[in-house]
Amino acid sequence: MDILKKYQNPWFLYEQEIPHSRLCDSSIGLSPAEKLSPEHLQLLRDAFTRAKHEQRTNEISRQKRRTRNQDDRKMEFEEFCEVIHLVMGPDADDAWTKRFFNEVDICCTGKVSWQQLCSYFLQEYSQRSRASVPAAAVQDKQRIRHCSHNQREPTVRIVPVFHPPSLRYVSVSKGGQVTVWNKHLNPTKTLREVAHTKRFRGWVTDAVYMTNARTVAISTDSRDIHFINVSTTNAFEDFHLYGFPCVPTAVCYWYDVQYPFEPSKLLVGDEMGVIHVLQFLSPTKHLFNSSNNKEKSLQRIYLHHLSDHGSTVSYHSVPSVHQDPINSSVTSVVCCSMAKKQNTYIWKIKEGVKCFDYNAPLQLIVTGGSDCAVRLWARYVTTHPVTALLGHRAAVIDVAIYQPVEQVFSYSSDAELRIWDITTHECLKIVRLHFPCIQDAQIPDMDYLAQLSLSVRPRVEELTDQLGDDRSKVSLSCALYNPTLQQVVTAAADSLVCVWDLETGMKKLHISNAHGEVALSCMTLDSSHRRLVTGAHNGTIKVWNLLNGLNLHKLEPLTNSMVTGLLFLRGDHIFAVGWSQCIVEYDLASSKDLHVKATKSWKSSGLHKADILALSHCPELDVIATATQKGEVIVWKLETQMPALTLYKDTSSIGGQPVDCLLFLQHRAGNRSLRFKGVLVSSQAGFVCFWSITGQTHYYGQFFAPEQPGERVLTLSSNQSENTLLVSGDTAGWLHIWDISHYGLSFEDQMLSERPPLLHCWRAHKGAVMIVEVLKMAERLYILSASVDGSACLWTLDGDHVGSFGQQVLWNLTDPSSFQAKRDTESSLTEEHRGKLPSSSPDSCDSGQTSQRALSAEEYLCGGFEKEHQRPQTTMHFNERYNKRGASWEDRRFLFNDNVGC
């Protein structure tokens, strides 16, 4: 357990996570935030602040009543519907208005106030505004390499080479060292021709990759250009063009991407503001005329002799483009035609510029300079920039426009990379490159390269196709059924929450990155079934509006350990348990803010000696039960927040096995003649055990449920209206349906050792079943199951496969012909497998049979539940064989780590 005391800010975990995004089914129409205009909202506000009976009173009484009741004014649905029709006219239909009312009345009180509407729209607009900002296209992982061949000289330029056959990079050092790298930044080739030629006495100024010619052009202050052929894996210098009148300081290459065989241009800018233009007529074949020498050697060409190569290249210059150096404020950036026959645009920037980039489709120019600002300019507006992006603390030495996601990259001399959104002008991410040469106590060494991966991620509102896509299988950690909305909610290891329509299997809501990139571990619903509470592996807990996907609350994480159980009780109280080994309570009724602090009023600290793995609630008895990894089960009274009963096993031999699941049988607990029998069911090491939490006798039988020894039961469910069926899901992917009509009601030795009748069993999943739930729809029972194999399925009680949520073909629960075929199911266990199953006790009889005799409930009444609360805690011990079955807690932890991705 890792307490968050080291963080001064208790909301640190929420601030570090990736923001979530939501998508709703477009078939339900526009949301209220999209459909209501500011004029509509003003009229709606006036309707709420004006009472109906105010018209029959005088003006003075009207003002007093309005002042007193303005905040308390609430509308029921009928009145709300009338107001919406008056405000919007025929654009508002009853179905849309009902949905709007329900989204605002999230607590299901039947009334809405203007304050609730304001809170609703504030959450809606703020989350829409946040979701409109795309994620940064640069990923965090850095790959840094040392350029050992540079001889401690800085790298002037690195260019990508896309042919052949895979991505490569070519770096050029200041001294002229050329190194070829593969896509993993491992050096494959080193050239010394440029750096060690006798004629080379200066430094490299720039380099560019001539894509269709598959050549790298390198300019130096020796007034020449070296052409390095990289068309093959064996790179070599092909041509050497020398004799420029001034030192070339920058090079640029252009060709028509759609017609790469057409002439291309190499532009060379020199220190005097002149641009030299080399036009290659057949760049894909040859740049210059080849010499008569049959030996393939370096060909040196004098600039003034280019007329001898007129069939392959032409040359001209554009003089006086820059009258002053570009780091002056006179002619910082110039845009003109090569013939200078069109208007020339000049951008005058204080302190000049060190770098710029231009994107023709966006008509955007980006500049950076010594003043640490990144400026965005419109193509034909030179007087003032669109915006100045501030944040760098050192000179900006390079900028680049990434058009696929409309973002700008800026790099400063302190090795800081910033990613900006062009539309919102916000800084999406700051990446500080961890070069050893800029770290403290390190010798300066400027010959390092860093590689970061890019991702093309469109804006959230463009991802509407995800609602119908069948995603790749990601481990599911939990699922539940919403009986009010008749929907199924699933949660995956990649922090994705999906809401599905039960009748058809269609996806209705999609919340990605619900807890950032942290896997979800549990969830629950409130009493109105309109709010969803999710818990994650890092201790964060969130409350969601199931109707529209809004994040209503973020609960204070007392620890950064896994949340394993959640309860949403009446009165807007939430209980959370997990590896923190304590019960944490949150009161939503007393907090209307996004962030809700823990009340810390529960008196459970120190009572649990191990991580809490399971939680269950019994409203009829007003108790909850918790279970730990060491096999301890504690029953708590909600009224007093004190333990009423402790169930614990003998651990003297090999230690207690973890309790995987707890389930209260609600029908039995609500029946006065049955509530003193086996009302609590636990699963441990594959055994399913029935407990009574009242009276003097607590143990009411156990049986081994999985098909094979060594497997465990991770989930249990029952038809809570009758408690005649018990469904178990194990780590092998099997579902078992047991008849428990008479099980756990007798304390006879024979009944304790026998298994209940097995009605059906089949292998539902290829991986462990994490969640199983019995649900009722159209007077028929179904079974919902979710597994680490990434599938959530719907079954009939007979094992017919209705379908998997997310499949392309939808189903219709009223039409059994739309159901899918059975998935490799088996109706019952073979006799061979039955013989291998562990028995429930050392002297148990045939585990496949059980007595059908119904015993009188009065025979086992042991006093009222209230009397049991007055007795001291009871510690239960049962047979040692129980403890030796199943896997250890470390195996369970491995199961989560391996399949859930936490």
Domain CATH for 497:
2.130.10.10
The more confident residue out of 781 and 146 is 781
Name the band, by pLDDT with cuts 50, 70 and 90, for residue 410: very high
**pLDDT tens-digit series, residues 233-250:** 778 888 999 999 999 999
CB 408 within 8 A of CB 401: yes
- And the tokens for 324? 């002053």
What pLDDT is stored for residue 637 in this prediction?
92
**pLDDT tens-digit series, residues 198-225:** 655 678 999 999 999 999 999 998 899 9
What pLDDT is stored for residue 163 in this prediction?
72
Mean pLDDT to the nearest integer, 181-186: 85
Most confident of 13-17, 206-210, 430-434: 206-210
488 with 588, same domain: the answer is yes
What pLDDT is stored for residue 74 in this prediction?
85
564 with 516, same domain: the answer is yes
SS3 21: strand
463, part of any domain: no
Q: Is the pLDDT of residue 901 over 50?
A: no
Name the band, by pLDDT with cuts 50, 70 and 90, for residue 231: confident
Cα(367)–Cα(52) distance, rounded to whole angstroms? 61
295, part of any domain: yes
165 preceded by a cis bond (ω within 30 of 0): yes
What pLDDT is stored for residue 589 in this prediction?
83
Whichever domain contains 431, its CATH number is: 2.120.10.30
pTM (2 d.p.): 0.64
**pLDDT tens-digit series, residues 538-547:** 999 999 999 8
Name the band, by pLDDT with cuts 50, 70 and 90, for residue 327: low
Cα(195)–Cα(229) distance, rounded to whole angstroms? 16
795, part of any domain: no
The more confident residue out of 146 and 84 is 84
CB 706 within 8 A of CB 732: yes
Report residue 62: phi and psi, to 5°.
-65, -45
Mean pLDDT to the nearest integer, 599-609: 76
776, part of any domain: no
**pLDDT tens-digit series, residues 461-499:** 443 445 444 445 789 999 999 999 999 999 999 999 999
Report residue 469: phi and psi, to 5°.
-80, 145
Q: Is the pLDDT of residue 439 over 60?
A: no
Positive or negative, the CA dihedral 243, 246, 251, 255 is negative
Mean pLDDT to the nearest integer, 55-68: 48
The more confident residue out of 168 and 716 is 716
Mean pLDDT to the nearest integer, 794-816: 91
What pLDDT is stored for residue 660 in this prediction?
94
Exposed e or buried b for every residue in 40-54, given b needs 16+ CB within 10 A?
beebbeebbeeeeeb
> What does the mean pLDDT of the chain come to?
80
392 with 311, same domain: the answer is no
Calculate the CA dihedral of residues 889, 894, 897, 898 and round it to 10 degrees.
-150
The more confident residue out of 680 and 46 is 680
CB 767 within 8 A of CB 789: yes
Straight-line distance from the first to the last Cα atom of the chain, in angstroms, rounded to the nearest whole number: 16
Residues 6+ apart with CB under 8 A from 230: 161, 168, 170, 180, 209, 214, 215, 216
11 with 26, same domain: the answer is no
The C-alpha angle 822, 489, 730, rounded to 5 degrees, equals 50
Residue type (1 letter), 22: R
Q: How far is CA 219 from CA 203, 270, 319, 321, 887, in A?
A: 9, 10, 19, 19, 68
Mean pLDDT to the nearest integer, 14-30: 79
120 with 175, same domain: the answer is no
What pLDDT is stored for residue 850 in this prediction?
30
Question: In which domain, by residue range, is 80 found?
Answer: 22-131
Q: Is the pLDDT of residue 817 over 60?
A: yes
Q: Is the pLDDT of residue 2 over 80?
A: no
784, part of any domain: no
Q: Is the pLDDT of residue 70 over 60?
A: no
Cα(484)–Cα(156) distance, rounded to whole angstroms? 65
Mean pLDDT to the nearest integer, 664-672: 93
Show which of 89, 105, 131 is a domain's final residue: 131
Q: Is the pLDDT of residue 169 over 50?
A: yes
In SS3 terms, 389-426 reads as ECCCCCCEEEEEEEHHHCEEEEEECCCEEEEEECCCCC
Mean pLDDT to the nearest integer, 6-29: 76
Report residue 441: phi and psi, to 5°.
65, 25
Q: Is the pLDDT of residue 318 over 60?
A: yes
9-18, 262-271, 512-521: lowest mean pLDDT where?
A: 9-18
DSSP 683: E
810, part of any domain: no
What pLDDT is stored for residue 891 in this prediction?
40
Number of domains the chain is built from: 5
150 with 275, same domain: the answer is yes
36-40, 110-114, 219-223, 461-465: lowest mean pLDDT where?
A: 461-465
- And the tokens for 397? 């030495």
714 with 594, same domain: the answer is no
572 with 626, same domain: the answer is no
What pLDDT is stored for residue 752 in this prediction?
66
What pLDDT is stored for residue 202 in this prediction?
76
Q: Is the pLDDT of residue 269 over 80?
A: yes
Q: Is the pLDDT of residue 105 over 90?
A: no
The more confident residue out of 394 and 148 is 394
Q: Is the pLDDT of residue 66 over 70?
A: no
Show which of 387, 416, 451 is a domain's final residue: 451
The more confident residue out of 153 and 246 is 246
662 with 732, same domain: the answer is yes
Q: What is the largest CA-CA distance in the chain?
A: 115
What pLDDT is stored for residue 655 in this prediction?
43
Q: How far is CA 827 from CA 456, 762, 797, in A?
A: 48, 6, 11
What pLDDT is stored for residue 294 in this prediction?
59
Q: Is the pLDDT of residue 659 over 90?
A: yes
578 with 681, same domain: the answer is no
770, part of any domain: no
**pLDDT tens-digit series, residues 827-882:** 444 333 444 444 444 333 333 333 333 333 233 223 333 333 333 333 333 333 33
Mean pLDDT to the nearest integer, 752-762: 88
89 with 163, same domain: the answer is no
The C-alpha angle 725, 532, 643, rounded to 5 degrees, equals 65
Q: Is the pLDDT of residue 162 over 50?
A: yes
Q: Is the pLDDT of residue 892 over 80?
A: no
What pLDDT is stored for residue 721 in this prediction?
92
Residues 6+ apart with CB under 8 A from 526: 533, 568, 572
pLDDT > 90: percent of the chain? 35
727, part of any domain: yes
**Residue whose token pair is 């404020």:** 329
14 with 26, same domain: the answer is no
DSSP 295: S
21-25, 61-65, 812-816: lowest mean pLDDT where?
A: 61-65
